[in-house]
Structure 1
């Protein structure tokens, strides 16, 4: 089974094209399905002080065991760019968490070997 995703658009009406782009970006996280169950994508439209429209894209990852990891938001005038940056950030975070877990497993294995 793949990684699931819930999408919420706040302050504007989402589009099929936006959902398609989010689905395409979700493929980047598919290789981490051993780590994550799903993600929640929130895209909020808001006005900047100068009146320009900004998109605040937040991605929360639901890890196995129902642990939720919130990532910092990606903000920009181009919703597709902010969306791509949010998924790139998630991919980098998962790589780092995976590497940290592998390092811990190697350290634990080495400590176990030293005890024997």
Structure 2
């Protein structure tokens, strides 16, 4: 069983490159497929209040096999790919702790 993903882009149109990057990051979660069924990824473009430059906030919610929601800490960066990567890094850390506590 693989892990599914829904992606929402807020404040910008997204891109095929960013969607491909998200798909590549999703592969990292497949080793936890016995614990999670899917995830919801939201990437939001917003402007930094002080500098006015664009920032991207990546939010990832994990969906367990029994439909519980595990929210992952937001990641923000001027580069949407870095924000995305950081969100998945955090998700892996959360899932490693979860898997360790179940065993």
Query: Shorter-chain TM-score category?
Result: over 0.9
Q: Deviations over 1:23-75 (max 9, x none)?
A: 00000000000000000000000001110100000000000110011011000
Identify the structure with the greater strand proportion. Answer: 2
Alpha-carbon distance between aligned partners in 2 of 1:38 and 1:85, rounded to the nearest angstrom: 18
Map 1:8-23 onto structure 2 (within 5 A): 8-23=8-23
Alignment coverage as a number of residue pairs: 102
Gaps of 5+ in 1: 103-116
**Structure 1 stretches of at least 4 aligned residues deviating more than 2 Å after TM superposition:** none
**Match of 2:66, SS?**
coil
1:34 counterpart = 2:31: no
Higher relative contact order (CA 8 A, sep 6+): 2
**Match of 2:37, SS?**
strand
Larger radius of gyration: 1
Which residue in the other structure is 1:2 paired with? 2
The Cα of 1:17 is off from its aligned counterpart by 0.4
- What's the Cα RMSD here? 0.6
Map 1:67-82 onto structure 2 (within 5 A): 67-82=68-83
The Cα of 1:92 is off from its aligned counterpart by 0.8
1:64 counterpart = 2:65: yes
The Cα of 1:100 is off from its aligned counterpart by 1.2
Identify the structure with the greater helix proportion. Answer: 1
